[in-house]
Amino acid sequence: MKKAVILLSGGLDSATILALARQQGFACYALSVDYGQRHHAELAAAQRVARALGVVEQRVISIDLTGFGGSALTDARIAVPERPTQGIPLTYVPARNTIMLSLALAWAEVLQAQDIFIGVNAVDYSGYPDCRPEYIDAFERMANLATRSAVEGKRLVLHAPLLHLSKAEIIKCGAQLGVDYSLTVSCYQADGEGCACGMCDSCRLRHAGFDAAGMADPTRYRGA
Amino acid sequence: MKKAVILLSGGLDSATILALARQQGFACYALSVDYGQRHHAELAAAQRVARALGVVEQRVISIDLTGFGGSALTDARIAVPERPTQGIPLTYVPARNTIMLSLALAWAEVLQAQDIFIGVNAVDYSGYPDCRPEYIDAFERMANLATRSAVEGKRLVLHAPLLHLSKAEIIKCGAQLGVDYSLTVSCYQADGEGCACGMCDSCRLRHAGFDAAGMADPTRYRGA
């Protein structure tokens, strides 16, 4: 079985790509990153999802990005917006996907895996620059120059299977593969139990996705 | 003054780029990475160098790469080679420069800096894939698609001023700029006091550099 590293945040999208990678026959190594995120509950969700869907191994690697700050997710003084905003929102974390992908690249090389999965989406998304197709292509190109494996001619493939799907399509796809979305946490300000605020960008996109998919939203909302 | 993030390992090359960035008029923010490296003494050297050359701020960020291993620098069970070897040596750390550059990119974005300096060299070097010009170009290209700054049209420049210099040229350049190389640590297995083994790849390249530059080698060697 070919190995793949799956970036598993514990949200809806990353749970879906883990299910997709398993369906495609990969032996899955899930990498979760504790970067000091406000919604720390997503890490517990990542563990639940990894267990439910079956991975060979899950690693949680710590890198404290609160020292850099610059985002509502890594600086407690910046509030998570609870209404739609224009442009790139305050929840954008500087270089987050680049940092996570570089860690996935390191682990992939040690595992001799040639495949990395990331759950970025450029349709129903928050408008983060590091979720765009051109960014994903550029990272893959760079990765294929960065490593010993690359020099040895082994090509690394960066899979972003959700890139062009709507949230509803992602949910339908995952549901068909048996993903239990009640295990996942998407809310940018989920509480310690993983209960969602229902108002942030991520909650809105998620709820609208279940609606459009014609499915009941299994999210646990605070005070509900 | 324009701000720049300088990747400062504490070795000879990174001390030189810090001096070069200062000479070019940048306000320098030094970023050092504690990744569990065998030669942990280089971090103390980075602090000495930052102090001696003058930086606005130095940050040390921790990311434990020993969990991944795969290198003589991050896995205590793999010995540092003490003779020249063929191909990419065992001291290569999977995706290290990609991880470090991604952290530098994050800090640069928060600082609103458009310039990052890295001391990679592709002449007198260990043959690491992530020290090659084509890798540096690809990282810069990716970085210019990754961030909010990029979307706003601010171009990030990845400076690798040592890329095409010999070790002797690097040393002469730094010496002219007043770099005190006795503060730096290059040895892959430096002891707690920063004393060098004199036998690893990094020691050999460094010593030959001082020889070729016609300068006394200020390195403190173990047992000397």
Q: Which two tokens stand for residue A13?
A: 């999208």
Q: What is the pLDDT of residue A97?
A: 98
Q: Is A42 left (phi over 0), alpha (psi -120 to 50) or beta?
A: alpha
What are the pLDDT digits (tens) for A182-199? Answer: 999 999 999 999 999 999
Residue B189 domain-assigned (yes or no) = yes
What are the pLDDT digits (tens) for B151-204? Answer: 999 999 999 999 999 999 999 999 999 999 999 999 999 999 999 999 999 999
Contact present, B34 and B61 (Cβ < 8 Å): yes
pTM: 0.97
Average pLDDT over residues B209-216: 98
What is the domain range of residue A113? 3-213
- Taking CA atoms, B62 is separated from A185, B31, B41, B66, B224, in Å, by 27, 11, 15, 12, 32
Q: What is the pLDDT of residue A124?
A: 85
Residue A195 domain-assigned (yes or no) = yes
**Considering only CB atoms, which chain A residues are within 8 Å of B110?**
68-70, 94
Supply the CATH number for residue A143's domain: 3.40.50.620
Nearest-by-Cβ selection for B132 from A101, A106, A145: A145
Report angle CA B120, A159, A213 to the nearest 5 degrees. 140
Residue with tokens 């930086």: B55
Above pLDDT 90, what percent of chain A?
95
> Which residue is closest to B130 within chain A, CA to CA?
A146
Q: What is the number of domains present in chain A?
A: 1
Burial readout A125-149 (b: 16 or more C-beta within 10 A, e: otherwise): bbbbbbbbeebbebbbbbbbbbbbb
Residue A142 domain-assigned (yes or no) = yes
Residue A219 domain-assigned (yes or no) = no
For B132, phi then psi, to 5°, come to -90, 150
What are the pLDDT digits (tens) for A13-68? Answer: 999 999 999 999 999 999 999 999 999 999 999 999 999 999 999 999 999 999 99
Nearest-by-Cβ selection for B146 from A69, A135, A146: A135
Average pLDDT over residues A91-118: 97
What are the pLDDT digits (tens) for B30-60? Answer: 999 999 999 999 999 999 999 999 999 999 9
Q: What is the pLDDT of residue A126?
A: 83
Residue A78 domain-assigned (yes or no) = yes
Half-sphere exposure of B121 (CA within 13 A, CB side): 23
Q: What is the ipTM of this complex?
A: 0.96
Residue A218 domain-assigned (yes or no) = no
CA-only gyration radius of chain A, Å: 17
What are the pLDDT digits (tens) for B1-25? Answer: 999 999 999 999 999 999 999 999 9
Nearest-by-Cβ selection for A145 from B105, B138, B146: B138
Instruction: Give chain A's length.
Output: 224
Residue A70 domain-assigned (yes or no) = yes
Residue B221 domain-assigned (yes or no) = no
CB contact under 8 A, B95 and A88: no
Q: What is the pLDDT of residue A131?
A: 95
Average pLDDT over residues B95-100: 98
> Which residue is closest to B96 within chain A, CA to CA?
A106
Residue of A68, A71, A74, A134 to mutate, interface with B, max B Cβ within 10 Å: A68
Average pLDDT over residues B117-123: 95
Q: What is the pLDDT of residue A188?
A: 96
> Which residue is closest to B31 within chain A, CA to CA?
A68
